[in-house]
Structure 1
Amino acid sequence: MQLPHPIQTYFTARAPQDGDALAAVFAPDAIVHDEGHDHRGPQAIRDWWLAAKATYRHHADPIDLAQAGGKTVVRATVTGDFPGSPAVLTFTFGLAHDRITVSDG
């Protein structure tokens, strides 16, 4: 499966060493929606991602890719330290100028 570069980075980045690389694929005004909270801008997104990785020690393996409503939708098997692991979750990404502008998942 050929994921767009920023989305590929989102799924392959490893914590904590790739925190800056992950932040770099997000637009300056990007928003990540996760577990009822919004994280705005690359630094806040990096901080959220590092905290989530430390808490859940999870990784996601993409299993399919689709386009819907101008967004890129990726289903992935997520495995980590959380109830129900592993789980198949859906991640939705908005992209502009080779940067992630919005992410739900």
Structure 2
Amino acid sequence: MTLQLDTTIAAYFAAANAGRHEQLALCFEADAEVRDEGSTRQGRAAIAAWAGEAHRRYAAVSTPRAVAGSGADLIVTADVAGNFPGSPLPLHFHFRLGETGIAALSIKP
């Protein structure tokens, strides 16, 4: 069975896994925010920088396994493998979709 993801969320994971940070940032609305590892980044430039740094540090690849929620609020559970202790780990990507892209993303264990 193939997991059906919103096209913007699928594009986010594809760009993240390929290390395409600028393309990843374009999946977000201009004033979107990302919360990860206790920090918040706002705006596409900050999101691209966060994605680039995370890719350099962890070389992580995310494999979405499940999606829950409805409408604009979706939680994608993904197995994330990379250069970090305990790899791979299941992480929960809490997406809030806006009119033109991802409005907010929070990544939690």
Q: Which runs of 5+ in 1 are unaligned?
A: none
Q: Which runs of 4+ in 1 moved over 2 A?
A: none
- 1:2 CA drift (Å): 1.4
Classify the secondary structure of the residue corresponding to 2:31.
strand
Match of 2:86 among 70, 84, 87: 84
Match of 1:96 among 87, 92, 98: 98
Classify the secondary structure of the residue corresponding to 1:101.
strand
- Rounded to whole Å, the distance in 2 between the matches of 1:73 and 1:66 is 5
Classify the secondary structure of the residue corresponding to 1:22.
helix
Aligned AA (2:105) = S
CA RMSD of aligned residues (A): 1.3
- Rounded to whole Å, the distance in 2 between the matches of 1:89 and 1:83 is 14
TM-score, scaled relative to structure 1: 0.92
Task: Report what 1:59 is aligned to.
Answer: 61
Match of 2:50 among 37, 48, 51: 48
Does the 8 Å contact 1:33/1:39 carry over to 2? yes
Deviation per CA, 1:50-100: give whole Å up to 9, x if none.
Answer: 100000011100000011685110000000000110111111000012400
TM-score, scaled relative to structure 2: 0.89
Aligned AA (2:8) = P
Deviation per CA, 1:20-70: give whole Å up to 9, x if none.
Answer: 211111001100000110010011001000100000011100000011685
Aligned AA (1:87) = L
